[in-house]
Structure formats: C-alpha cells, structure tokens
Chain A
C-alpha cells in the first residue's frame, strides 16, 4: 500500500449523471433505428432471396475468384513492399535529385485513380506491342493478371514508401545519436533500433493499405481477370440476382476481418514491451 492510499480514504465512484432526452439524443436514436432497419433489410434480402441452386452453381467459380484475388493482392503487396524500400530511402534522402524523382513517383501513383493506372498499363502496353516483342517482354504484358499485379505493385509501393518513410521520420533523432555514440554501424542501428520502433507506428497504416488493396483489386475484373469481383459480375450477368453482390461483399468482409485479427496479434507482439502486466 502506498502512502497516498493510506492518507486518502477510498470513496465510491460519483453517481452517473442523469442524461436528459434532448433533441440531439432523439436524433441519434432515430439514426440508430434507421441503421438497424437497413441492416435487418440486408439480412432479410439474403434470407428471403436464398437460392440454393444458384449458390451451388456459382460457388465454385466464386471461390476460384477468392483465390485469384488473394494471389493478386498477395503478389502485389510483396512486390510493392520490396519496391517501397528504395523509394522510402529516396524520400528520406538528402540528395535533392533523388528526393525529387521519388516524390514525383509517389505523387503520381497516389494522386491518380488506380482504375486509370490499370487501363494505362494494360491498354497502354497494348499500343506498344512491337516494342515489347522486340525486347522480349510481350509474354508478360500479354497476360492481364501480370498487368494487374504490376500496376497494383507500383501503386502500393508508393503508399508503402510514404508509410515507411513517415514512420522512420517519427523515431526521435536521439535514438540515432545514442546509437552513434555507442559506435554502432549504420546498418545495425537501422535494423535493430530504428526499424523496430518505426514498425509500431507503421503497423496500422500498413494494415489499412492491405485492406485498401484487397478492395482495390476488384478493378482487375474490368481487364478480364476473373477475380472475386470478376466472377461475381459473371454470375450476376447470368442471373440478374443482386444477391451475388451481397455474397461477394460478405467474402470481401471476411478477408478484411481475418486480416484485422492478424493485425491485432502482430500489434500485441510488436508492443509487448509496452504492455502492462497487472
């Protein structure tokens, strides 16, 4: 028992203030009711319109689409992460030329729609068939999936580089100076001191970026890639049943929810030295 606890006697918590039913609360309750109604309506649409035959017919295609979406997002994120390291280094560089080039890259990919970028790569590459054949790269650009991965990787690299650069900037300068005073090599400083601290800051934005990528990957469906969205559009074009979009939404939600839980575990692991153990 601390000294303070001995001198100040424990007292019960104050009584909860009675909240009056004002205009704001009524409006809030009304909106809440509206949302609940909307949720119930969607649920009802799913239950009332349940069509077992349709699901049996299109489920294999939809699951195949989920797999394609996961491959598309997974590959794009890994390649993008690798690309983002030099870009982040460029963004942090003291050299104005390198800084300008990497800034321009990041500015372009973060400032234009992913849809436009995808079209630009897919149909743009199509305009230069002769050139790509000559340098022996047409086999790559011929495939829509490859074009989608390339575009998404370039796009996410720009965002990931900003996240990484921002997180490294957020680590106090004193950490660098302390490492220097211990004569630690720059590489070791970065790997063992700066990056582990930066990752705590970067983790949530990284998670957001992955979620955005999962949703953004639906764009691949308009350049003939049969991802989850592509297969859903296919099923809808055969059935005209809006339910298929609801099922697709549920599958996208499931992916995002799994990711969210993984991220919670990662965060607990990275911040284990900051947690209270009482």
Chain B
C-alpha cells in the first residue's frame, strides 16, 4: 500500500508539473452509484439510471459546470472502487459516519432521513426495539449503517445480511425474514408499491449518531479537497436557488433535507 501511495504521489507531482494550472480545473467527474436503491438510485427498464441521488448529482454537475459520467458499482465494493480511482465521487445515499470517514472524505449532507423497520402485514411485531425483535430473523443490506445498527443493537435477533435491498425484500415477502431495517424512504416507497404489498412499516428508529451519522453525503477521496469544496458550494447553491426543492418535490411530498 505504501508503494501505491508513493506512485500516486509521484503521478500527482508529475501531473502538476506537466499540467500546471490545467490540473486545477476540474472538467469531468465520474460518479459512482449503486443503481439498486429505489427511490434514491435505480435503473429503469431501459437500464437508465434514475432517482433522487441521480437527479441531485446531475444538478450539482450543472451547477459546477462539469461533465458528469455515471458508473454503476455494487454496494459492497463501492468505497474500494472509489479509492482505486474507478470514479471520483460516490453519490449513492451514503451516510456520513465515523467508520467511513477513516477511509474517505465527505461533503456536507444532501439529505437526511431516519431508518425504519418493515414487517409483513400480518406480523405480530408492534415495535422497533431490541425487545420487540427478539429471537426474530432481521434482514439488512450488508456494509450499510442499517446492518451495523442491527448487529450492535439487535443482539438477540438473528441478523441476516444481503448484498442488495432487492434480496432482503424477497425474503421478507416469502417469510424467511420477520423484519428488515433500512431507510424509511426506501421502505415506504417499497411498501406503497405493488411489489411491497406484503408488508408494512412498523415504526422509525431514532438515529444513533455514531452509526447513522449526520445524513447522506457525497464520498470523495481524501486528497481531492478541491472537488470537495466545489461540491459543498454546489450543494449550497442548489439549496438556495430552488433546484433542490424542485427535485425534492418530484420524488417526495415532504422535505428530505431534514433538520
């Protein structure tokens, strides 16, 4: 790893020497997203990326006057792929938390919604505490704040981790799982759709600061501070000029930015 850093440093120095002022000017940003987390980011029937994250990303790129290219990447490997330089930013509803800050840098949040628990409609579960979910099979997507929460707080439940949200949805529907934990917006979008007719939301979880952090932000490599500043300015700008509100209204009837 150390050698990699040396090589990267040498490359940066070389680029600065050769490129001069041009290297400072960011003209193209590659954005990594999962494409399997509706309504925030998903692929429609034509394979086109859609969702709140994607529209926000496009608005931010327009604001920064840079060309953006989307790269679809599995959630499990999304941070390693960013670090390996496959893309320059992750805009995929990634919660800003301490654990991730060890490896990547974050912009300010661009939305914040609480986690929730969904269960089958005929479930006897009435609450979301560890006691309510005791001895039950609880599903979550792996490498998420929700899986961390489930492992740390639902210690008496049988926690099962899935690569994508689609898979835990299937297992909640068929009864392998008694409950699932995920973002309230993701779960309500699903239970209100035809596919999620099996299930209901039983309640929201009060976010835990160390785990859930301060909301969803854009993850960047730590050394890309110029890009970080640009993104922060752009988030501020679209919040001010009404673009954010317009996108918000397209997807939700409440304010996702949160307090």
Contacts and interface: CB of A to CB of B under 8 A. Distances in A.
A277 interface: no
B80 A240 contact: yes
B76 A237 contact: yes
A142 B178 CA distance: 12
Interface class of chain A by DSSP: helix
A240 B160 contact: no
Contact of B163 (A125, A222, A242): A222
B86 interface: no
A123 B103 CA distance: 35
A55 to B, nearest CB: 16
A233 interface: yes
A234 B223 CA distance: 27
A268 to B, nearest CB: 44
A180 B163 CA distance: 59
A48 B161 contact: no
Interface in A200-239: 222, 224, 233-234, 236-238
The 3 closest A-B CB pairs, nearest first, are: A126-B174, A237-B143, A224-B160
Interface of A: 48-49, 123, 125-127, 129, 138, 142, 144, 222, 224, 233-234, 236-238, 240, 242
Given A126-B176, A240-B103, A48 B1 contact: yes
Interface residues of B, number: 21
Nearest to A45: B1
Contacts of B83: 240
Interface of B: 1-2, 76, 79-80, 83, 99, 103, 142-143, 160-163, 167, 170-171, 173-176
Contacts of B143: 237-238
B40 to A, nearest CB: 20
Contacts of A138: 175
Nearest to A119: B167
A144 B171 CA distance: 10
Given A129-B175, A240-B79, A123 B170 contact: yes
A270 to B, nearest CB: 43
Contacts of A125: 174
Contacts of B175: 129, 138, 142
Nearest to B80: A240
Contacts of A127: 174
A138 B161 CA distance: 21
Most central of A126, A138, A144, A242 by chain B CB within 10 Å: A126
Contacts of A240: 79-80, 83, 103
Given A142-B176, A240-B83, A224 B162 contact: yes
A49 B161 CA distance: 28
26 contacts: A48-B2, A123-B167, A123-B170, A125-B174, A126-B171, A126-B173, A126-B174, A127-B174, A129-B174, A129-B175, A138-B175, A142-B175, A142-B176, A144-B160, A144-B176, A224-B160, A224-B161, A224-B162, A233-B76, A233-B142, A237-B76, A237-B143, A238-B143, A240-B79, A240-B103, A242-B80
B176 A49 contact: no
Contacts of A142: 175-176
Contacts of B176: 126, 142, 144
B28 to A, nearest CB: 25
A194 B80 CA distance: 55
B76 A126 contact: no
A138 B173 CA distance: 14
A128 to B, nearest CB: 9
A189 B114 CA distance: 72
Nearest to B79: A240
Contacts of A233: 76, 142
Nearest to A129: B174
B161 A234 contact: yes
Contacts of A48: 1-2
B148 to A, nearest CB: 9
Contacts of A242: 80
